[in-house]
Amino acid sequence: MLDDGSTDNTTAVVGDFIKQDERIQLVSLRHHGPWVTKNHGLCCARGHFTTFIDSDDEYLASHLERRAAYLARHSTVDLIHGGLEIIGDQYVVDKDDISKKIHLSQCVVGGTIFTRQAIFKQVKGFKNLSFASDADLVSRCQNHGMSIRRVFFPTYRYYRTTPDSITIRLAQQGV
């Protein structure tokens, strides 16, 4: 787990999980922003699969199990995304035309990305973009000929009510 400069009780909460499962590790960073933190996490990752979750979202109980099982059953699929429950505004700025808003069903939501660890290394992780870095990552995977599937089992709860989220800040700026 990566802690990118949180000011809550993350270390104490994660400490309990670390005591219960040696596979869990905590890497604490000063606040560097999402792309640096995610790329650092990719360097530290030891498992076969990789995924991310933002601090204001949550996995439902079966999230990791169902996604791992999907990739195990579909050995030719490199990356999956999708399958979310949206809490709050279901529209975001269109990455291709910032004067428009589109429904989240037309987007790649980063927390739903689940892939084999090696995939991130092939595309060299995330780029420093102001938003839509997750969509950029998936696009680069497609350009590398990787097999990508959207799943529809809603195991990721995406909260669009947090005031400091990237998409809410963009909307407030009139972007």
Query: What three-state secondary structure class fits 84?
Result: strand
Q: How far apart are CA 118 and CA 84, in angstroms?
A: 24
Q: What pLDDT score was predicted for residue 79?
A: 96
Domain residue ranges in the chain:
48-172
Give the span between the Cα atoms of 157 and 102, in whole angstroms.
19
**For residue 11, what pLDDT is reported?**
79
Assess contact for 134 and 125: CB atoms under 8 A. Answer: no
Q: What is the 3-state secondary structure (H, E, C) of the chain?
A: CEEECCCCCHHHHHHHHHHHCCCCCCEEECCCCHHHHHHHHHHHCCCCEEECCCCCCEECCCHHHHHHHHHHHCCCCCEEEEEEEEEECCEEEECCEEEEEEEHHHCCCHHHCEEEHHHHHHCCCCCCCCCCHHHHHHHHHHHCCCCEEEEEEEEEEEEECCCCCHHHHHHHCCC
pLDDT at 162: 73
pLDDT of residue 58: 94
Tokens, residue 53: 């979750």
Chunk the chain into consecutive blocks of 10 residues (it has 175) and report each block's average pLDDT, rounded to whole numbers: 75 85 80 77 83 88 96 96 96 92 94 90 88 92 96 95 62 56
Q: Which residues neighbour 43 within 8 Å (Cβ) at sequence distance 6 or greater?
A: none
For residue 151, the model assigns a pLDDT of: 97
Architecture of the domain defined by 48-172: Alpha-Beta Complex (3.90)
Q: Give residue 172's pLDDT.
A: 57
Q: What is the mean pLDDT of the chain?
A: 86
